[in-house]
Structure 1
Amino acid sequence: MASGPDNALPHVAWLSLRAFCRLAVCGIDLHVTGLEHVPTRGPVVLAARHYHYTYDGIAIYALIRRELRAVAALDWLPPGRLRGLLRTACQAAGWPSVLREPLRGMNDRETERERRLLLLQASREAVDLLRAGNALLIFPEAYPVVDPHISHCRAEGEMLPFQPGTARFAVLAARGLSASIPVVPIGLRYTRGRRWRLDVAFGEPVLIGPESDLDERLATLESSVRRLSGL
């Protein structure tokens, strides 16, 4: 997508982040298959397994050649100035930002209100990005396996149920475009050793159209990501 006055800053942010990721990925033994399934132009959602809190995004950003935005979680930082700065940075980079639903228990009333307002705004931003022909990275599980900011939430070989936002963003964008949105499943498989080995597998896109059954499409997508991850 061409950069103009309104999107120059997100483009610069993407260039800078991709340059960093291409350097950082040198610390991983990275292997990739199926990259040809990612469209080189037009709207696309990349839906990836979430295993490692940093390596997942670093690897995908290093591999994708086209400009890429991502849905970012803010709640790994406590409420206050730092979280506010992170949200501002996400806005500057053109990243929709959310507060994830808690893994256990419930939010207090004020936090839940903020979470819903952010989700509504993120939905609008994600749909606008797709309608403008952008690529959007989402981790539908929301939480990774390896993350020092949260307590252990699942075993190594388990996946959390996919959140419905991934399919909902795509179907809303599809209605605005009167065309299907490809959602590319991405499997991630880590092998521990002296260096992490990471196998990234891109699968055939799951097409989501204006009238798609969200539950069925989400189940198909989750099954594809699980299979590509060797689970």
Structure 2
Amino acid sequence: MPVYKHPLKLAMKSNPRSELLVQRNAAALYVAQVQNHTWEKAMKFVNIPFGCHLAALAFCLACLLLTVPYPELLNLYAGLTLPPVVGIILALLATSLVFLACTRFGSAAAFPRFMAHIIVRKTSHTFLRHTTMFTVEGLEWVPQSGPILIAARHFHHLYDGCALLSVIPRQLHILLALDWIKPPWQRALLERACALLDWPIILRTERLTAFTPSERHAYSSSDLLRYLRRAISASIRLLHRGEVLVIFPEAYPNIDPIFTPKQSENDFLPFRPGFKRLVDLAARHGSVPVAIIPTGLYYKRFKRWHVTLRFGQPLFRDDFENTNQLIAAVEERVQALSAPALLETEEEAQQQ
């Protein structure tokens, strides 16, 4: 008696590409079914926009498309058993990410910000890993919760922020200067990005006053006071909310492709008065003491930059008689933490 063979299986056996196509389509169908079921039933208690559902569905389908050059991911020899499993896993993964974000932050409004911080952190970590040799010291001094003000040395216009973003396992909010922008479209783009990440924007007075009226620029001196008030208000709000705020009190890095007043890689600038004002306001209006973390950065040139990021012991306003003493102590420790390691200094002395 002849054995019946399904025509679909015969076609799949004769053409592996058709087998992969059938498996991907099967997985995609399961993705759609699981997504619709979970979003209609389990997720009805959480206020999530339909756009998040479409984004999760697009994520699953993109993962399936990535299997085109790697058919072994769907296991060509597993028949039609594995694709449904793959589809269900992908659908539940995407839905779980959205559900986790919404239950953590209370609403879907914070989900784009949550994902933006993840993307920026992962991108910074990957970029730093491929362009530098990176070392971290003293990370145990950074509290796991509560308001933190990180006062860091500013050496490199790009690597400094990437180093902090890739190391600290909390959402960072960087006080960012955008006065170097000239085209208006760049201003609109970067301000939208900063708003999504909740990064305060500051404008440096001397940068805007240095431009002539005929020179095209995205900002003007009339914007200074308005952006200063916004930056202070946003910074205090973040600290009161128990977030981590990063500030570079020198205001200028040692290496910057546009402009820096520093003359060499060893130069330090005095901390700006705005840092003292921010510390005063945070201490005056905050119910929880703000931990100020002095943070040093040491760079050494090789084929790739060797970067050492060092965190110091937290300092608190109540431990000092006045704010001036606190600022002086922070500045002193930032410079000390940015010095070469003791062992490296001894080796260089022996070589000389």
TM-score strictly above 0.5: yes
Are 1:127 and 1:172, in contact at CA under 8 Å, matched by a contact in 2? yes
Go from structure 1 to structure 2 and tell me whether the alpha carbon gap of 1:151 and 1:160 turns closer, same or farther (over 3 Å shift). Answer: closer
- Residue identity in the other structure for 1:30: F
Counterpart among 225, 231, 236 of residue 122 in structure 1: 231
- Alignment equivalent of 1:3, drawn from 99, 105, 115: 105
Q: Provide the rounded CA distance (Å) in 1 between the counterparts of 2:151 and 2:310.
A: 11
How much has 1:4 moved relative to structure 2? 3.4
The DSSP-based 3-state class of the residue aligned with 2:144 is coil
Provide the residue aligned with 2:137 in structure 1: 33
TM-superposed deviation, 1:105: 6.2
Q: Is the 8 A contact 2:320 2:326 kept in 1?
A: no
Counterparts of 2:132 and 2:123 in 1: how far apart (Å)? 14
> C-alpha distance in 2, partners of 1:202/1:151?
25
Residue aligning to 1:177: 286
Is it true that 1:17 corresponds to 2:136 in the alignment? no
Aligned in 2, Cα 1:106/1:55: closer, same or farther, shift over 3 Å? Answer: same
Cα distance in 2 for partners of 1:71, 1:139 equals: 8
- CA pair 68-164 structure 1, distance change in 2 beyond 3 A: same
For 1:104 and 1:154, the matched residues in 2 are separated by 21
SS of the residue corresponding to residue 206 of structure 1 reads coil
Q: 1:93 maps to what in 2? A: 197
Radius of gyration: which is bigger? 2
Partner of 1:72: 176
Amino acid at match of 2:312: G
Measure, in 2, the Cα distance between the counterparts of 1:59 and 1:22.
7
The whole-number CA distance in structure 2 between the counterparts of 1:161 and 1:178 is 29
Instruction: Summarize deviations over 1:17-49 as a string: whole Å, max 9, x none.
Output: 001011011121111111011010010011110
C-alpha distance in 1 between matches for 2:225 and 2:159: 28
User: SS in structure 1 opposite 2:309?
Assistant: strand
Query: Residue 322 of structure 2 aligns with which residue?
Result: 213
Letter of the structure 2 residue corresponding to residue 67 of structure 1: Q
Quote the offset at 1:107 in angstroms. 6.6
Distance 1:9 1:200, change over 3 A: same
1:132-147 to 2 correspondence within 5 Å? 132-147=241-256
Task: Give the aligned partner of residue 163 of structure 2.
Answer: 59
**Cα distance change of structure 1 residues 214 and 7 upon mapping to structure 2, 3 Å threshold:** farther
Deviation at 1:80, TM superposition (A): 2.1
The answer for unaligned runs of 5 or more in structure 1 is none
Aligned CA RMSD, in angstroms, stands at 2.5
Distance in 2 (CA, whole Å) between partners of 1:210 and 1:175 is 15
Per-residue deviation at 1:57?
Answer: 0.7
Q: 1:97 and 1:104 mapped to 2: Cα distance?
A: 14
What TM-score, normalized by structure 2, do the two folds share? Answer: 0.61
Residues 178, 210 of structure 1: 8 Å contact kept: no
Q: Which structure is higher in helix share?
A: 2
Instruction: Identify, as 1 or 2, the structure richer in strand.
Output: 1
Alignment of 1:223 with 2:327, yes or no, is no
Asked whether the 8 Å contact 2:262–2:269 carries over to 1, the reply is no
Number of aligned residue pairs: 231
State the SS of the aligned residue for 2:186.
helix
Asked if the contact 1:187–1:225 (Cα under 8 Å) also holds between the matched residues in 2, the reply is yes
Equivalent AA in structure 2 for residue 223 of structure 1: E
- Residue 170 and residue 210 in structure 1: after superposition, are their counterparts in 2 closer, same or farther (change >3 A)? farther
Contact 1:46 1:138 in 2 (8 A): yes
CA displacement at 1:220 relative to structure 2: 1.2
Give identity over the alignment, percent: 34
Deviations 1:204-224, CA, capped at 9 Å, x for gaps: 112125996232221111111
- Deviation track 1:127-174 (CA, whole Å, cap 9, x = no partner) reads 000000000111111111111011563221111111133333233223
- The letter for the 2-side match of 1:9 is P
Which amino acid counterpart does residue 155 of structure 1 have in structure 2?
S
Which stretch of the first structure deviates more once superposed, 132-141 or 72-81? 72-81
Quick check: 1:13–1:93 contact (8 Å CA) kept in 2?
yes
